[in-house]
Amino acid sequence: MIHPSAIISPDASVADDVEIGPFAIIDAGCSIGAGCKIGAQAWITGNSQLGKNNDIGYGAVVGALPQSIGFDPATASGVIIGDNNTLREYVTINRSIYAGKNTVIGNDNFLMSVSHVAHDCILGDHNILANNVMLGGHIEMGNRIFLGGGGGFHQFVKIGSFAMVKGNASISQDVPPYAVACRDNELASINVVALRRAGFDAATRSEIKNLYKLLFRSGIRLSDAVTQAEESEWSEAASALIEAAKSPSAKGILRKMS
């Protein structure tokens, strides 16, 4: 189960059934849960904690130093990864820049080849990052999001649940929940396919569409659109759009139409 060329620190915690490939490295302070597979030449470092049944691909690096000028390598920070995640070849996940803090990956995420998750990002569950997706630091992602290949995402932005961002997009503002974003900070539509696949009924989908139009397509100033929206009753699912509009990151939220 463990290739003889693998290097595993005696101060690492590795479950009995973990598979570790040739020349992989598991550093001190790291923990690898049951059922995990660590590919050849992968490197798990920086106090990274992996849950169960994670598949770490060839040459992936989890827990390396954040790419932040002035970072002190002695800072005790880490990465926390949940269960059932797949990191394909050469994926990189950097640890937090803050002592005692972590970059966090939830459960059932699929990070395709050469995608990058920078320091202090927080990813929810069931997200897909296609090849070469680049997440800057401090990004917050919800659940069941698809990010197209080659997309670049500026630090501190938020990406709402059930959103989709098309390939090669350049995003430096928040992506609302349920939305499709593309190109240079442009909104295209509601992600209807994702809503149907997730089991949202027709009434809820209609609510989301109507609220999306009011907040992001009406041409009304966003604060006024939020005030108008709050005069009506909405389902919990639709209300997520209002919350995203009311509490954006410092970068603001996308409104430009494609």
pLDDT value at 236 more than 80: yes
pLDDT band (50, 70, 90) for residue 231: very high
Q: Does the pLDDT value for residue 239 go beyond 90? A: yes
Q: What's the confidence (pLDDT) of residue 248?
A: 96
Write out the catalytic residue numbers: 119-120, 137
A 10 A CB-CB count for 7 gives: 12
Q: Is pLDDT of 208 > 80? A: yes
Alpha carbon of residue 65 to chain centroid? 18
Q: Please give the average per-residue pLDDT across 192-210, as a whole number.
A: 95
Q: pLDDT tens digit string along 11-31? A: 999 999 999 999 999 999 999
Q: Does the pLDDT at position 69 exceed 80?
A: yes
Domain with CATH 1.20.1180 in the chain: 195-246
From 1.10.20, 1.10.287, 1.20.1180, 1.20.120, which CATH number describes the 195-246 domain?
A: 1.20.1180
What contacts 255, CB < 8 A, 6 or more positions away?
Answer: 187, 216, 222
- Residues 119-127 have a mean pLDDT of 98
Domain with CATH 2.160.10.10 in the chain: 7-138
pLDDT at 256: 86
Cα separation, 216 vs 125, whole angstroms:
26
Percentage of the chain lying above the pLDDT 70 cut: 100
Q: CA-CA distance, 90 to 113, in Å (whole number)?
A: 6
Please give the CATH topology (third level) of the domain spanning 7-138.
Answer: UDP N-Acetylglucosamine Acyltransferase; domain 1 (2.160.10)
pLDDT at 87: 98
Interval 112-124 mean pLDDT = 98
Write out pLDDT tens, residues 162-197. 999 999 999 999 999 999 999 999 999 999 999 999
Mean pLDDT, the chain, rounded, equals 97
Gap between the Cα atoms of 16 and 50, Å rounded: 14
Strands 43-44 and 61-64: parallel
Task: Write down the number of H helices and E strands in the chain.
Answer: 4, 27
Q: Burial letters for 89-110: b for 16+ Cβ neighbours within 10 Å, e otherwise?
A: bbbbbbbbbeeebbbbbbbbbb
Residue 258 pLDDT more than 80? no
